[in-house]
Amino acid sequence: MLIQLNCVGRAEPADLAVIAPAIAEAAAAVDLDHARLAAVLDWVQYRKNFRAPVMVRPFGAEPAETGPLAEIAIDVRRAREMTPERLATDIVDRLSKALGIVPDVHECIHLEDWVRPSKSVVWSFNRSYWRHLASWDETFQRDYAAALPGGVSDGTNPEFWAEQIEALMDTLVRLDEWSELPDEIPVLELGVGDGHQARTWMDTFAAACERRGRDYLPRVRYLMADYSPHVLDRARQALKGYDHLVDCLELDFRNPLHGLEHLRGKLLFAHACNLYDNLPTDELMRVGDRAYEPLVRASITPGEVATIAQAHGIAEGEIVSAVQRVLREGPSAHGDTPAGVRFWADVWEAVHLEEMYVEVPAPSAMRVAPSADVHLDELLDGMPEWTRVHMSTTAVESFAQTLQLLHHEGTLVAQDIFVRDVGEYAAFRGPGKLEGSILNWVNGPIFALVGERSGFRVSLKPFTQRAGSNTVVLTARHRDAYVRPVGRERAELVGAR
């Protein structure tokens, strides 16, 4: 049996002293080829997540004669509280049911059939949350921003924006000197939060214009784009004094070109913060020379179904249809909006994802995303044995389309929890739950590859302006664009002038 320690750096040796005997005991109790089993010991850092402490992911709906049989996934953070005997019993129980050795007489209620992760109903929950955020905030009397890890957004850091605006000003001055600066300077923000990022951007830009003696501010056309009308309304309130320079647009981030076609080739600056980690994604796994992808099924345990039914006065058999109504029509479909939000929140708290793997028969024939000229076999080549990564499906498509909007001297800057190297997948990388939405890490190397194929230079660098931040800064520019000198090189050029 292959055992992967994806909890190194988080778990203490004493934690594994509980886990290891349980795995050995469970292995001895099942009549299976142990060489076809794997155990992955994760540390799921998110208090709210879609994982049970112990889960089994079979390879295929029916056991195959060759190849891997199943992966046993254990969250060490929670499993360490169990006794070895209880943990071993759970592993044997999950294995036996997942592989059809014994029937599951206490089967969960399923909110969907087996689907690719990007098509799961959990993303319908996520979209509905942003669509009905006003009802959620009003019901619970708290700002969604309070749910951010650490309670802070790196998107409003003044030092970061001073550096970004300085580089933008260099570009604008250079275009101006070449008589190529457009009369209107279009700027795009994707995912606007509470508006403080836009405010920081505008204040920093205004100060830079004054310092350099450039009258560029009146020429700015700042477009705030977001999926949620409530978020847009609130964000605009933070832009007092700049109202005449700002437009708002409801936008589906999955297909930004649909609403922004008029900006193709015109954007001089585009930026996003914590956007890509909130978009649907599929995943890819390599076992030997084969490619697999997980399928998921959103489920609720029988005990949680009974609790929700009793708390909200709904028959257990009507839970699924009630969830579908709320997702389709909003919380008011429950009769009373606050009651609908509380029902929705309780269901969201209870939802977990069952998983199984299916083989990808022809990886070379599958693109990562429709607009990206990158195929799955290219990703597999750089993946170690028994490694599972995000494909960042929707985020990559959104990124690829946004690149088409950039002016030949334009820049795209994204702050997010990017994985910079495939080796970082040796630790758990999501998804986790926030309030009613999803938090997921993003596969940065795929973005770099897609950008390169599209004629862009893409860099992924740690956010250095706050100690302990997990944020990574992605910067994309056309490969043939002017490169701004930095550090000593720039100082020497300025001195020479």
Going by pLDDT thresholds of 50, 70 and 90, the confidence category of residue 105 is very low
Quick one: average pLDDT of 319-333? 93
pLDDT score of 413:
98
What are the boundaries of each domain within the chain? 1-105, 147-280+365-496
How far lies 252's CA from each of 130, 258, 286, in Å?
A: 12, 8, 32
Q: Are the folds of 1-105 and 147-280+365-496 the same?
A: no
For 183, the token pair is 């009369």
Assess whether pLDDT exceeds 80 at residue 477: yes
End-to-end CA distance of the chain: 66
Assess whether pLDDT exceeds 50 at residue 494: no
Assess whether pLDDT exceeds 80 at residue 482: no
**Number of Cα atoms under 13 Å in the Cβ half of residue 244:** 4
Q: Where are the beta strands (DSSP E) in 324-430?
A: 352-359, 387-390, 406-416, 418-419
Q: Where are the beta strands (DSSP E) in 215-351?
A: 220-226, 246-250, 267-273, 283-287, 290-300
12-26 pLDDT tens trace: 999 998 898 999 899
430-457 pLDDT tens trace: 999 988 999 999 999 999 999 999 999 9
Distance of CA 419 to the CA centre of its chain: 11
Quick one: average pLDDT of 336-342? 93
Domain 147-280+365-496: give its CATH code.
3.40.50.150
Architecture (CATH level 2) of domain 1-105: 2-Layer Sandwich (3.30)
Task: Select from 99, 108, 44 the least CA-distant residue to 73.
Answer: 44
What is the C-alpha separation between 196 and 208, in angstroms, rounded? 18
Q: Looking at this protein, which amino acid is placed at residue 471?
A: T
Going by pLDDT thresholds of 50, 70 and 90, the confidence category of residue 411 is very high
Q: Where are the beta strands (DSSP E) in 191-282?
A: 220-226, 246-250, 267-273
Quick one: average pLDDT of 328-334? 90
184-196 pLDDT tens trace: 999 999 999 889 9
Lowest average pLDDT, out of 348-357, 359-368, 411-420, goes to 359-368
SS3 for 411? strand
